[in-house]
Amino acid sequence: MREEKLALEHVTKQFGQKTNLVTALEDVSLAFKAGEVSLIIGPSGSGKSTLLTILGGLQTPTDGSVRLNGHDISDLSTKEAEKTRLEQIGFVLQAYNLVPYLTVADQFKLVDQVKPNNNLSQDGFDKIIETLGIQKLLNKYPGELSGGQQQRVAIARALYTDPAIILADEPTAALDTARVKEVGQLFANIAHDEEKAVVIVTHDDRLREFSDNVYKIVDGKLSNTD
Amino acid sequence: MFLAIREIKKEKLRYGLILTVVVLISYLIFILSALALGLATANTAAVDSWQSKSFVMTKDANGNAGQSLLTTKQVDQLSDDKTATLGITPVNMKIGGKRESAQFVGMNNDEYIAKNLQLTKGHLPKAANEVVLADSVDKDIYGMGDKISIGLSDTKYKIVGYAKNATYNTAPVIYGALAQWRVIKGVSDQFQGSVVTSKTSQSVDDKALKTYSYQAFINKLPGYTPQKATFGLMIGFLIVISLIVITIFLYILTVQKLPNLAVLRAQGIPNRFLAQNTLFETFFIMATGIVVGAVLSALTEFGIPDSVPMAFDWGLMGLIAAGLMVTGLLGAIIPIRVISKIDPVSVIGG
Ligand SMILES: Nc1ncnc2c1ncn2[C@@H]1O[C@H](COP(=O)(O)OP(=O)(O)O)[C@@H](O)[C@H]1O
Ligand SMILES: [Mg+2]
């Protein structure tokens, strides 16, 4: 049995009130395990980003609960949620992952500034930048990198804190098919080799082949996997 | 600090611009305050050198020594061993074809003002036709031993010395014998002088007279108070403008970085870290700008002609620098609030 890392139980998220009420998520229950890539696929506006931000403790559900390592995190204070994100979760977002005025190497040093301990060892870091093929990019600024290179650096940045969980929102939106396969394979390797729970929300079908679990979301509701 | 240093290094143009603005503003403020201080000193230097606590004049003169006429009786009543009688009047001094505004100050050699007068050269006026001029006059024109005409007097006065800090209401002072004041001003011999100064506070019973403290006397110097107010207002406005400019700059810089800052917040980088960073950035810009502005001001002082009164006072400059620094850090408040209110969710989605 694989260890459950993160789970949603009957999560509902609503925005606005009365006539403006939007139900972005409706009674969603999901569990994510270490060592697996879970893909949540759905069209635009289906609630994917809302789901991801709730998983990452950036928003709290209107109803239901979020479990991290068996503990309910639905009601953490802002500070506690911040600490949890810094230590347990690696985010890979569609854009703005990298600080434009820091070199690739400095993106990691920034992490050391706020979280000096329990980051990747030099060996671990070397291995990851080699796997991601970004060793030669360390002295470059994000503006000097291609979209694919930026996304690979972003993934390395997310892994640098050695988080148990990787949350990715549309990580392939800016990439061509060859790059999608590369990135997909990378996520699969991270999950399988490093025992991370990888959750990807996307509308990109091309990532299916690298996933262990695929869920479909439409209008805030999970539909049966196919 | 980590982010600030790297950001400034990477975005040289952007920070160069804001730095330029801060340099120009602090330069302007320093120069204005030096001019204000220079002008103030040119107004008060002589009065300061007299080291007097009180000044008695006729009430009608409204604090303007040049308008005050004290009778012999009044002077006798006011005088004791701690007082000095001065006859002050604005005059023209003439030598060759040249004519220049000055202030004649007649004094008694046996009273404390004459005794305390600091000469850079020569001696106090001994004879009625001897005068001591402000050290600041052009010595090529007003040379030692030269003879000048003063005011309405027919006498030619001989320059026998120069006095330090001898400007009064921005004009050079001519120190001479008190008896000459009446002749130069052209008033009848019932009048003895215009001001009785004292080393101590002095009160008067005579309803026609009024006592002015040192500060009140200075403030009544013609034009002095409005000049001070004008400069004060300009400097105040400049500080307010610098506050607005810095706030706008920092705000724009912050807003431009907002998506990145939001991602950093999503990644769990603490708000405090980002706020400290903005504060440090502001501190760096202000400190650099102020130092460069101060250096430019010092260079300007060397280059500016002596006819423009400019005075640098390190204490005052330090105070202004501190004021600018506080202003700059205040300018960081709004951007820091913007940062603290960032919702990381706002950048995730699309
Ligand atoms: N902060 C919010 N306020 C109001 N409505 C929101 C907010 N966030 C998301 N929504 C709505 O919730 C729905 C799901 O949005 P989102 O999770 O961003 O979908 P996806 O990422 O699948 O495109 C949309 O209808 C969106 O308009
Ligand atoms: Mg989305």
Q: Which among B240, B244, B262, B243 has a CA at the least distance from the CA of B338?
A: B262
Q: Which residues, 6+ apart, have CB-to-CB distance to A1 below 8 Å?
A: none
The mean of the pLDDT values for chain A is 91
> Residue A1 pLDDT > 70, yes or no?
no
- For the Cβ of A46 lying below 6 angstroms from any atom of ligand 1, the answer is yes
Q: Which residues of chain B does A118 touch, with a Cβ-Cβ cutoff of 8 Å?
A: none
Residue B38's contacts (CB-CB under 8 Å, 6 or more residues apart) are: B308, B309, B310, B311
Name, of A81-95, B162-176, B200-214, the range with top average pLDDT: B162-176
Joined tokens for residue B91: 């005059």
* B17 Cβ neighbours under 8 A, 6+ residues apart: none
- What percentage of chain A exceeds 90 in pLDDT? 70
User: What is residue B300's DSSP assignment?
Assistant: H
Note the CATH number of domain A2-222: 3.40.50.300
What pLDDT, on the 0 to 100 scale, is given for residue A212?
A: 96
Q: Find all residues with CB under 8 Å of A17, minimum gap 6, and list them.
A: none
Residue A32 Cα, ligand 2 centroid: separation in angstroms?
A: 19
Going by pLDDT thresholds of 50, 70 and 90, the confidence category of residue A179 is: confident
Q: Does residue A117 have a pLDDT over 60? A: yes
- C-alpha to C-alpha distance for A9 and A30, rounded to whole angstroms: 7
Long-range contacts, B226-235 (Cβ 8 Å, 24+):
B227/B36, B227/B39, B227/B40, B227/B43, B228/B36, B228/B40, B231/B32, B231/B33, B231/B35, B231/B36, B231/B39, B232/B36, B234/B32, B235/B29, B235/B32, B235/B33, B235/B36, B235/B320
Q: Count of alpha carbons within 13 Å of A89, Cβ hemisphere only?
A: 31
Q: Do residues A99 and B258 touch, judged by C-beta distance below 8 A? A: no
Q: What angle do CA B90, B91, B96 make, to 5 degrees?
A: 155
Spell out which residues of chain A touch residue B347, defining contact as CB-CB under 8 Å. 93, 95-96
Asked whether residue A155 carries a pLDDT value surpassing 70, the answer given is yes
| Best residue for ligand 1 mutational test, from A8, A11, A12, A15 (most atoms within 8 Å of Cβ) | A15
- Distances, alpha carbon B117 to alpha carbons A73, A213, B196, B299, in Å: 83, 98, 17, 33
Helix (H) or strand (E) holding B197: strand B195-198
Q: Is the pLDDT of residue A225 over 80?
A: no
A22 touches chain B (CB under 8 A): no
Strand partners, B38: none
One-character DSSP codes across A134-167: -GGGTTS-GGGS-HHHHHHHHHHHHHHT--SEEE
Closest Cα to atom 3, ligand 1: which residue?
A15
Decide if B196 contacts B77 (C-beta within 8 A). Answer: no
- Rounded-to-10 torsion of CA B201, B207, B208, B210: 20
pLDDT at site B145: 96
Please tell me the predicted confidence (pLDDT) of residue A113: 95
H-helix or E-strand containing B39?
Answer: helix B12-50
Asked whether A87 and A162 are in contact (CB, 8 A), the reply is: no
Widest CA span in chain A: 56
| Average of per-residue pLDDT across B250-278 | 92
pLDDT at residue A181 above 60?
A: yes
Question: Which residues neighbour A58 within 8 Å (Cβ) at sequence distance 6 or greater?
Answer: A81, A85, B266, B344, B345, B348
Q: Please determine, for residue A226, whether its predicted confidence score (pLDDT) is greater than 60.
A: no
Pairing state between β B54-58 and A4-15: unpaired
Angle between helices B271-303 and B314-331 (to 10 degrees): 150
- Mean pLDDT score, B286-296: 95
Q: Tell me, what's the pLDDT at A224?
A: 66
Percent of chain B, pLDDT > 70?
99
pLDDT (0 to 100) of residue A183: 84
Name the residue facing A83 among B9, B268, B344 (closest C-beta): B268
Instruction: Among A103-107, A174-178, B313-317, name the one with the lowest average pLDDT.
Output: A174-178
Contacts of A101 in chain B (CB under 8 A): 3, 6-7, 9-11
B116-133 mean pLDDT: 96
B202 Cβ neighbours under 8 A, 6+ residues apart: B53, B54, B56, B78, B83, B196, B211
Whether pLDDT at A165 is above 70: yes
Packing angle between helix B2-10 and helix B12-50, nearest 10 degrees? 100
**Amino acid making up residue B145:** G
**Pairing label, strands A71-72, A37-41:** unpaired
Q: Give the orientation angle of helix A177-194 with respect to helix A147-160, to 10 degrees.
A: 10
Calculate mean pLDDT across residues B269-295: 94
B131-146: average pLDDT:
95
Mark yes or no for CB contact A56/B266 under 8 Å. Answer: yes
- Cβ separation B259–A102 shorter than 8 A: no
**What is the residue-wise DSSP string for B76-123?**
HHH--TTEEEEEEEEEEEEETTEEEEEEEEEE-TTSHHHHHPPEEEE-
Q: Please tell me the number of Cα atoms within 13 Å of B218 on its side-chain side.
A: 21
Is residue B350 very low, low, confident or very high in pLDDT (cuts 50, 70, 90)? Answer: low
| Confidence (pLDDT) at A104 | 97
- pLDDT reported for residue A172: 84
pLDDT of residue A128: 87
Which ipTM was obtained for this model?
A: 0.90
Closest CA to B194 of B82, B75, B296: B75
**B213, B54 Cβ separation under 8 angstroms:** yes
Task: Assess whether pLDDT exceeds 60 at residue B83.
Answer: yes
* pLDDT on residue A94: 83
Tens digit of pLDDT for each residue in B169-206? 999 999 999 999 999 999 999 999 999 999 999 888 88
What pLDDT sits at residue A186? 87
* A147: confidence class by pLDDT, cuts 50, 70, 90: confident
Cβ of B350 within 8 Å of Cβ of A114? The answer is no
pLDDT at B120: 96
SS3 B254: helix
Whether A152 and A57 have beta carbons less than 8 Å apart is answered as no
Share of chain A above pLDDT 70, in %: 98
The predicted-structure confidence for B1-28, as pLDDT tens digits, reads as follows: 899 999 999 999 999 999 999 999 999 9
Cβ neighbours of residue A129 closer than 8 Å, sequence gap 6 or more: A135, A138, A156
Per-residue confidence (pLDDT) for residue B307, from 0 to 100: 74
Domain residue spans in chain A?
Answer: 2-222
Task: Decide if A101 and B7 are in contact by the 8 Å CB cutoff.
Answer: yes
